[in-house]
Amino acid sequence: MAAREKIAYLKGLIDGQKPADPDTAKLLGAVVDALDGLADDLENQGIRLEEHREILDEVSEYLDQIDEDLCALEDRIESCEDEEEGEDEEEDYISVCCPHCRKDFFYDPTAYEEDEDLLCPHCGEPFKQPEI
């Protein structure tokens, strides 16, 4: 039995009994009126609760989408950071001065054999690699 039905049943009981004492009748009437007011509030809140549930469902879906987008963004950032870490492992270039033309240039010692001569990019003359 719903709240409205129970309140209507109580009203019917009170009306059927017709209490002899006017104070008792007044008290019971006030109790039924209070219960009726509570039922109205519950019905109104029920509508509000349903509206709130719908809004919460929409917000929940929106947050789920934001979470998915954020995870995808974090994955992209991590993959970019991984690529950058590989770039940070640059070769160590060494500066040398050509003994023929006296101009400086950089070279990667790992790109040459130990006994391989360097070629000056300015004058094209070969010379021995400096000791590292």
Kindly tell me if the per-residue pLDDT of 67 is higher than 90.
Answer: yes
Q: Token pair for residue 14?
A: 């009170």
At 9-45, the pLDDT tens digits run: 888 888 888 878 888 888 888 999 999 888 888 777 7
At 69-86, the pLDDT tens digits run: 999 999 888 888 777 665
DSSP 100: T
* Domain boundaries, given as residue ranges, for the chain: 3-14+21-88, 94-127
Q: Token pair for residue 122?
A: 């300015």
Q: Tell me how far apart the alpha carbons of residues 132 and 128 are, in angstroms, rounded to a whole number.
A: 12
Are 91 and 108 spatial neighbours (Cβ–Cβ below 8 Å)?
A: yes
Distance of CA 15 to the CA centre of its chain: 60
DSSP 99: T
pLDDT cut 90: percent of the chain above it: 31
Question: Could you tell me where the beta strands, DSSP code E, fall in 1-132?
Answer: 94-97, 104-107, 118-119, 126-127
Rg of the chain's alpha carbons, rounded to an integer? 44
Q: What is the pTM of this model?
A: 0.34
